Amino acid sequence: MHITDRFIKYARIDTQSDENSPQTPSTQKQFNLAKEVEKEAREMGLSDVSLDDYCYFMATLPSNTKKAVPVIGFIAHFDTSPDMSGENVNPRIVKEYDGKEIILNEAKEVVLSPADFPELLNHVGEDIIVTDGTTLLGADDKAGLAEIMTAMQYLIDHPEIEHGKIRIGFTPDEEIGRGADKFDVAKFGAKWAYTMDGSEVGELEYENFNAASARIDIQGRNVHPGYAKDKMINALHVAGELIDLLPENERPETTEGYEGFFHLISMNGTVDEAKISFIIRDHDSRQFEARKQSMVQSVAVLNGKYDNRLRLEMKDQYYNMREKVEPEKQIIDYAFRAMEEVGVKPNIKPIRGGTDGARLSFMGLPCPNIFAGGMNFHGRYEYLPVPSLEKASEVIVKIAELVAKEA
């Protein structure tokens, strides 16, 4: 199966995760894709194929060499983001993109334009997979799934390429921060691994944000507005005050590179009660702790003003993998050289987000991140250049080859 066909097949299967569900997986529909991948793995001849009750998939491509080669792994995730619907995804291929606007949905006037997304112009002349403007595409991370499965098939079909034992693992619920929750590192058995979960072609990442979530419940006091003087406490206004206490220039839309942020992700409620949620991000661990303390202090200020009507729940989600990956520099070197050998210019950069690899690195499996090729993740403007998809799969094959060659 060609990698494009494999990706489109995966993309059509709804696997959206649900952050409000306490179950693992958070949505049972993730099994629909997992079972399809399990079937493919068995048909292509992978061994040790397993899919557990929590929707964690693992399989092995056995070594074809007598050398003592380190066991390496490649990891992706089944779920797509809750940010936009993944139901009834209808991908189409724009052939030899001409550099102009792409009409995704004429009826809804949804247009993918290089004026808004100038990176499109890096892919003029390439075939590009796009949405129909009503859903996300799901390249995050079904591109990663397709790349890994295609690479395994290629290595099976080309036994002349020497490689060691390769483990592949696919997780549920990465998009809601739970992808590594029940990942069995000992069972996986790799010395190191790579997540295929980056964006633009060439990305190679071993630094990511330190991350925390913050949820604030606000209890207001509602009385008839005609008699509210000195009595009413409007929970929605209190929520607005909290937002205003945080730095306006430290939001996702005003930061880049290594700059951290406070990101308001939801706010809902009434006069009587309101709930707001933030995510807090910073690459530097000290600044990360300072950001969390700033949130604590802001809530304390309003509790002093409003008689303890705010309740804060803050949780760390993951940490910067750099301290775990950097001491194992050869892991990055293999990926860097593999990209160069398949004609991709490596672009080492920090992740302004996180991957399963961030948590897995702290669980004993160093796990940097490699590009999957998609752009504009999590929304209707998502697109995936086909050459980027193909190159990512080639990088996987080349890493396996290099590790065996130098064993």
Q: How far is CA 184 from CA 42, 188, 190, in A?
A: 21, 6, 11
Percent of the chain with pLDDT over 90: 96
- Backbone φ and ψ for 84, nearest 5 degrees, come out as -155, 155
What is the average pLDDT across 169-188? 96
Q: What is the pLDDT of residues 120-155, one digit of tens each?
A: 999 999 999 999 999 999 999 999 999 999 999 999
pLDDT digits (tens, 9 = 90+) for 319-372: 999 999 999 999 999 999 999 999 999 999 998 887 889 999 999 999 999 999
Q: Give the per-residue SS3 of 77-130.
A: ECCECCCCCCCCCCCEEECCCCCCCEEEECCCCEEECCCCCHHHHHHCCCCEEE
Question: Cα 304 from chain centroid?
Answer: 38
Mean local confidence (pLDDT), 84-113 = 97
Residue 355's pLDDT is 82
Query: Can you say whether the dihedral through the CA atoms of 233, 216, 54, 29 is positive or negative?
Result: positive
Whether pLDDT at 23 is above 90: yes
79 included as an active-site residue: yes
Q: Dump pLDDT digits (tens) for 195-215.
A: 999 999 999 999 999 999 999
Q: What is the mean pLDDT of the chain?
A: 97
Domains of the chain: 3-207+320-405 (3.40.630.10), 210-318 (3.30.70.360)
CB within 8 Å of 224: residues ≥ 6 apart: none
Catalytic: which of 173, 174, 203, 382?
174
For the stretch 38-52, pLDDT in tens is 999 999 999 999 999
What amino acid is encoded at 338 in this protein? A
Q: Out of 79, 140, 203, 356, pick the active-site residue.
A: 79
